[in-house]
Amino acid sequence: MISTLLVANRGEIACRIFRTCREQGIRTVAVHSDADADALHARVADTAVRLPGAAPAETYLRGDLIVKAALAAGADAVHPGYGFLSENPDFARAVRDAGLTWIGPSPEAIEAMASKTRAKELMGIASLAESDVTEARLPVLVKAAAGGGGRGMRIVRRMEDLSAALEGARAEATSAFGDGEVFVEPYLEHGRHVEVQILADTHGTVWPLGTRDCSLQRRHQKVVEEAPAPGISEGLAEELRTLAVRAARSVSYVGAGTVEFLVADGRAHFLEMNTRLQVEHPVTEAVFGIDLVAEQLRVAEGHALEKEPPRARGHAIEARLYAEDPARDWAPQTGTLHRLAVPAGVRLDTGYTDGDTIGVHYDPMIAKVVAHAPTRAQALRRLAGALERAELHGPVTNRDLLVRSLRHEEFTTARMDTGFYTRHLTALTAPAPDPYAPLAAALADAHGRSRFGGWRNLPAQPQVKRYEVAGQEHEVRYRCTRDGLAADGVRVVHADAHTVVLEVDGVRRRFEVFAYGDEIHVNTTRLTALPRFPDPAAQLAPGSLVAPMPGTVVRIAEGLEEGVPVAAGQPLIWLEAMKMQHRITAPAAGTLTALPVCAGQQVQPGTLLAVVEELSS
């Protein structure tokens, strides 16, 4: 019987595993980097062990340090979570060799399936060699052999881009997983990403726990997942389950795992087997009424599964909340998460609480929100409504994108595929702030500012405030009168520091206002208060390229120096932030007139990276 469990992970998944452990009466041990010293997962565990450093390569990817931490804390079992070392056979062996229980499949099974190239060979599928790629075979996908989460992946549509895609994918895979092996496979433009959750014990029983659809993806990383996969015929679903069980049995699999497919033209194309728990496992838990982590622990203790899995009931949908700006190439965001609250009736899995900091070192996912209902339509409505009413105060998030995605006709009718955001991102990210949010912010700010009340002997001059909303400046005007605050075109029913009620054309609307310095949240609209008189020194020269996020300059284009010509769209600088690489490109054809940064340099948002002087027409 497991008595003390160390989770070799961080954030949301560590907190989720700890929750099951508490219910089971199992003591918990967290590991944390220096950057995570005050993180929620380190706070909620019974014991926490420091891993010196901040980068994954020196902390969460150091299996030797994690095994030492488990032994030092008196743990008798290790759960890897997902990502990091969860699919590393050497780590699994090290855990077992230390006399600890490994919560997962055997190192041999991980070894057989952890490399996507070897997994394809096991399933009788050949990958393309780099030399096999021709113009006729485009587009292709360059993909990391180890790991997942969309890292180390590049779509290649032109032969001249292949070398750069291979180089970039190798660099990103090495940074994220410690393994730079990549391979090439055909890229199916309009396929659906469908997977099967499996659970197997040591007694020969393998459960295929239904299908999941994970087609809504950005940068090859899933954003919305649901179970069961809608619009899949029972015949195809049975084929997927059969293939998943076959894959599991081929490596004598034990524990929880997922077999992933791309479904196109009614056919299933094997992608990979993930030998770990998936991020999206809660939708399967909701539909089958089970706790997959608890089942993982029972299997590791040698207990047998029932011969048949539980019956599926209803439909579940999960949305991943990220601190990122989808309208700016999914740029990750950092800062203080002042408030995180979702309405009752949905499941919230998160590694953050109010006041926590979203840093630069790790994935920018804030939380997963899951809705379960008797039908897909009901689950969709419940999840979209909960996200719309959620209180998210802090960095920019993808919340609005999620709500619009869940309500998009292509998604509600289950006609989506992995190209959904390629087709619809511009429309889904079009700014649509509440037009009365700036006025509500100004009135809340003005409440109580006058020491002598609102009465004046002469008509009051309008007060003016400026706000930035979704990249656009808004100016609002209001007046202090003997009857209180007033604004043209609306009736101010009530205004205090946190609540403003406006009546427009006979309809009353209530606004909840929360200010954190210059950052203001009015219902679901995020605003930034602007100074009355802009600082002239803050103006940048035309063509200036600034860091969109905090990160590290990992690469500068070869031969790039001041005075050289650059082409429009040419990659100039590569930034690494939150385990992903981001290209900074030339905004127009011109001459590079400034390059004040160098490789290895840490930068903050707004740091000047380069200046391109545009060619005169």
Query: Tokens 């001459």 label which residue?
Result: 591
For helices 292-300 and 11-24, the axis angle rounded to 10 degrees is 70
| DSSP track, 266-331 | TEEEEEEEE-S--TTHHHHHHHHT--HHHHHHHHHTTPPPPSSPPPP-SEEEEEEEESEEGGGTTE
Query: Exposed, middle or buried, 612 (CB in 10 Å: 0-12/13-18/19+)?
Result: buried
DSSP 3-state helix, strand, coil percentages of the chain (rounded to 5)? 25, 35, 40
88, two tokens = 């590393």
Order across the sheet with 182-186: list the strands.
153-156, 140-144, 182-186
Vertex 403: Cα angle to 432 and 499 (nearest 5): 60
Task: Provide the β-strand partners of residue 555.
Answer: 574
276 noted as active-site residue: yes
Please count the residues of the chain: 617
151, two tokens = 């890292």
Distance CA 573, CA 515 (A): 35
| DSSP track, 551-576 | EEEEEE-TT--TT-EE-TT-EEEEEE
Query: Tokens 């007694």 label which residue?
Result: 203
CB 278 within 8 A of CB 197: yes
- C-alpha R_g of the chain: 26
Residue 578 CA, distance from chain mean position: 10
208, two tokens = 């295929």
Distance CA 389, CA 339 (A): 13
Q: Cα separations (Å) of 130 from 139, 161, 185, 186, 542?
A: 13, 12, 10, 12, 41
The dihedral region occupied by 265, where left means phi > 0, alpha psi between -120 and 50, and beta the remainder, is left
Distance CA 371, CA 343 (A): 11
For helices 89-97 and 107-114, the axis angle rounded to 10 degrees is 170
- Set 16, 27, 218, 276: catalytic member: 276
Short-list 145, 28, 118, 124, CA closest to 76:
28
**Positions marked catalytic:** 276
